Amino acid sequence: MSALTKAKGFKKSKSGTYMSMAATAFGAIGVAKQIKKARVENDTLRLVDAVVTAAGVVTGLALLYRELKRLGDDDVLLG
């Protein structure tokens, strides 16, 4: 298996999924800051936007977790 083929399969590997989960979770920091700022400014519209964004982050993490469970032992980079 060539290096390029492995690189293309990285997203479908456990390592790639963990990296995607970390990047998605890192996005939660921005959402938390946005919520805090909206509360300080008493900006309802910005707060609603932050809550919807947070729901997207949670959904993204759930989808990545499901993909991680689905991968199981069929990891592209191991075989």
Confidence of residue 3 (pLDDT cuts 50, 70, 90): low
9 or 43: whose pLDDT is higher? 43
- Please enumerate in sequence order all residues whose Cβ is within 8 A of that of 1, keeping only pairs 6 or more positions apart, or say none: none
User: In whole angstroms, how far apart are CA 28 and each of 4, 42, 78?
Assistant: 32, 20, 30
As a whole number of angstroms, the distance between CA 13 and CA 18 comes to 9
Q: What is the pLDDT of residues 14-37, one digit of tens each?
A: 888 888 889 988 888 999 999 999
- The pLDDT value recorded for residue 79 is 45
Q: What is the pLDDT of residues 44-60, one digit of tens each?
A: 999 999 999 999 999 99
As a whole number of angstroms, the distance between CA 14 and CA 71 comes to 7
